Amino acid sequence: SRIKIGSLVFSNFLKYYQLCRSAVNEVSTRLDNLNTDFQLRYEHNPINRIDERIKNIHSLMHKVARKGIPKDLDMINRRIHDIAGVRVIVNYIDDVYLVRDALLAQSDIKLIRTRDYIKHPKDNGYRSLHLVVSVPVFQTDGKKIALVEVQIRTMGMDMWASLDEKMHYQAVKNSQAGVHAPELEKYAGELNSIERDMQTIFTELGETD
């Protein structure tokens, strides 16, 4: 039980990861329930897909080193908020904020931080709404509070982000960073414009129902 990752005791680390896993399950279940409820009440599913992920230890340690964070669970917990991650892919742009509001309306979920890369896209064209929320998790020894990063984005934003990620990975492998960056930035804008037009049609159809 004294096996260590750097200076972190492995068994403590496992417990921490288990807390993050439970927090992801908690948030994901709540989102799934909200989606079903939206369907029953308004005949509209805002959520297309939910992806869950726990940051792997390699990428966590990379981030810890990059940010110069001491290898201490308390410090890691305080400074890194995306170990537990839930990505919500929604159908239309307005659904991003519909899902955000419905989640934050739950009295035991607290908003810790918002980064709205939809209202303020990154220079490369990346769009997505990032929330860090705290959520209660019930363990055998009582209630714990855990942080979860919730990324909410449309299908177009998600398609763009996955291509961007793949290109980034390829570029690192072939040392060709940024070759397609201008095209990608242009496509991000075009996708956004198409999704805004689709939103307009969807809203109009709803008004004439």
The reply to whether 158 sits near ligand 0O2 by the rule CB under 6 A is no
Query: Whole-angstrom Cα distance, residue 161 to residue 185?
Result: 11
Give the Cα separation of 62 and 76 in Å (integer).
12
Which residues are 182's β-sheet partners?
none
Taking the C-alpha atoms of residue 155 and residue 146, their distance in angstroms, rounded to an integer, is: 28
Q: Does 161 bind ligand 0O2 (CB under 6 A)?
A: yes
Number of other CB atoms surrounding residue 132 within 10 Å: 17
Nearer to ligand 0O2 (CB atom), residue 38 or residue 160: 160
Q: Is 95 in the site for ligand 0O2 (CB under 6 A)?
A: no
- Residue list 31-70, contact with ligand 0O2 (CB under 6 A): 55, 59
Does residue 81 belong to the site contacting ligand 0O2 (CB under 6 A)? yes
Among 25, 77, 124, 134, binds ligand 0O2 (CB under 6 A): 124
Q: Which of 19, 20, 50, 130 binds ligand 0O2 (CB under 6 A)?
A: 130
Complex with ligand 0O2: residue 95 or 164, whichever CB lies closer: 164
Which 3 state secondary structure label does DSSP give 138?
Answer: strand
How far lies 179's CA from each of 37, 163, 171, 175, 206, in Å?
A: 45, 13, 8, 10, 42
Measure the CA–CA gap between 152 and 86, rounded to whole angstroms.
Answer: 8
Axis-axis angle for helices 155-174, 181-207 (nearest 10): 170
**180 part of the interface to ligand 0O2, by CB under 6 A:** no
Binding segment for ligand 0O2 among 68-76, 121-129, 176-184, 188-196 (CB under 6 A)?
A: 121-129
Q: Summarize as ranges the residues that interact with ligand 0O2 (CB under 6 A).
A: 55, 59, 81-82, 115, 122, 124, 126, 130, 161, 164-165
